[in-house]
C-alpha cells in the first residue's frame, strides 16, 4: 500500500461537531500533517481552534502564511482567506474571489494539497450544506490520493458528501467513527 503522508479535511454545516468526533479518535502517533478547511462564517477562527484543541489528541493551530505543514499537527484554515498548500508543503494564503461561495474553500485546499502531496494525500469530505470540496476531491483522486467521504446517511447535512460522491466518487464512504479509524490505519506504518 502507498504510504500516506498528509491528511486534508473539509466540512461545512455540522462540521464543528463532526471534527469534535473525529479528532479525539486520531492516534497520537499520527506523524503526518492534518489540514482542515471548515466554513465557520465567523470572522475569527481562533475560537474554533480553541474548541478543537481541547478535544484533539494532536496539537491544533491556525495555519500560518508561509509556515510549514508540520507533521503531527492539526492546521486550521484562517477565516476570510483561501488556504493553499505550496509544492514545498508550506502554506500560503490568498484573498482571491470566493470559490463555490466560500473563502476559505475546500476545493482550493484539496486541489493544491493534491498537487503538493500527490498520492500521499488522504482527503476527507464531511457534512455540509453546499457542494464545495467535490471538485477538489476529484483532483485528489486524479493525483492518486485516497478519498474518504462521510456516509451521507450519517451526516448532519448530506449535501456536501453527496456532491463529493456524485462528482468524485470515493475510496471509502464511512461514518465519523470509522473515518478516524481508517485515517489511523492509512497513516500509521
Partner 1 sequence: MDVEDIEIELFVRAMQRRHGYDFSNYAPASLKRRVQQLVRTHDAGTISELNRRLLHEEGFVTRIIEGLSVPVSEMFRDPPVFRALRDKVLPILASYPEINIWQAGCAHGQEVYSLAILLEEAGLYDRARIYATDFNDAALHVAAEGIYATRDARDWSRNYIEAGGLKSFSDYYSARYDFIKLDQRLRRNVTFFNHNLVTDEVFCEAHLILCRNVLIYFNNSLQDHTLALFRDSLVRGGFLCLGTRENIDFSPAAACFSDVDAPLRIYQASSASMARPLAR
Residues designated as active site: 12, 39, 132
**Rounded Cα gap, residues 133 and 129, in angstroms:** 11
How many amino acids of this chain bind partner 1 (CB under 8 A)? 21
Tell me the three state secondary structure of residue 178: helix
132 scored as a contact of partner 1 (CB under 8 A):
no
Q: 18 or 82, CB closer to partner 1?
A: 82
User: Could you tell me if 53 and 24 are in contact, meaning their C-beta atoms sit under 8 angstroms apart?
Assistant: no
DSSP-assigned letters across all residues of 123-146: EEE---SS-TTHHHHHHHHHTT-E
| Nearest distance, CB of residue 48 and partner 1, angstroms | 16
Cα angle 114, 68, 27 (rounded to 5 degrees) comes to: 75
Nearer to partner 1, 111 or 151 (CB): 111
Which x/- pattern over 50-89 shows residues binding partner 1 (rule: CB under 8 A)? --------------xxx-----------x--xx-xxxx--
User: What's the rounded Cα separation, in Å, for the pair 79 and 67?
Assistant: 17
For partner 1, which is the closer residue by CB, 102 or 170?
102
Minimum CB separation of residue 109 from partner 1 in Å reads: 10
38 binds partner 1 (CB under 8 A): no
Name the phi and psi angles at 7, rounded to 5: -125, 135
Closer residue to partner 1, CB minimum distance, 92 or 181: 92
Question: Considering only 10-18, 26-34, 109-117, 167-175, which stretch makes contact with partner 1 by CB under 8 A?
Answer: 109-117
Q: What angle do CA 9, 53, 45 make, to 5 degrees?
A: 65
DSSP 79: T
Binding region for partner 1 (CB under 8 A): 64-66, 78, 81-82, 84-87, 92-97, 108, 111-112, 115-116
Amino acid at each position: 500500500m502507498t504510504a500516506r503522508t498528509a491528511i486534508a479535511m473539509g466540512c461545512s454545516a455540522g462540521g464543528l461537531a463532526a471534527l469534535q468526533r473525529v479528532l479525539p479518535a486520531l492516534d497520537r502517533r499520527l506523524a503526518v500533517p492534518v489540514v482542515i478547511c471548515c466554513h465557520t462564517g465567523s470572522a475569527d477562527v481562533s475560537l474554533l481552534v480553541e474548541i478543537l484543541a481541547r478535544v484533539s489528541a494532536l496539537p491544533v493551530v491556525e495555519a500560518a502564511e508561509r509556515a510549514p505543514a508540520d507533521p503531527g499537527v492539526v492546521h486550521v484554515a484562517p477565516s476570510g482567506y483561501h488556504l493553499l498548500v505550496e509544492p514545498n508543503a508550506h502554506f500560503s494564503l490568498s484573498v482571491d474571489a470566493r470559490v463555490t461561495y466560500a473563502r476559505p474553500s475546500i476545493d482550493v485546499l484539496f486541489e493544491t494539497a493534491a498537487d503538493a502531496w500527490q498520492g500521499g494525500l488522504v482527503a476527507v469530505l464531511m457534512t455540509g450544506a453546499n457542494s464545495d470540496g467535490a471538485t477538489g476531491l476529484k483532483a485528489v483522486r486524479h493525483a492518486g490520493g485516497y478519498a474518504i467521504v462521510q456516509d451521507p446517511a450519517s451526516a448532519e447535512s448530506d449535501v456536501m458528501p453527496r456532491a463529493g460522491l456524485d462528482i468524485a466518487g470515493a475510496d471509502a464512504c464511512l461514518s465519523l467513527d470509522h473515518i478516524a479509524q481508517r485515517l489511523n490505519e492509512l497513516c500509521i506504518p
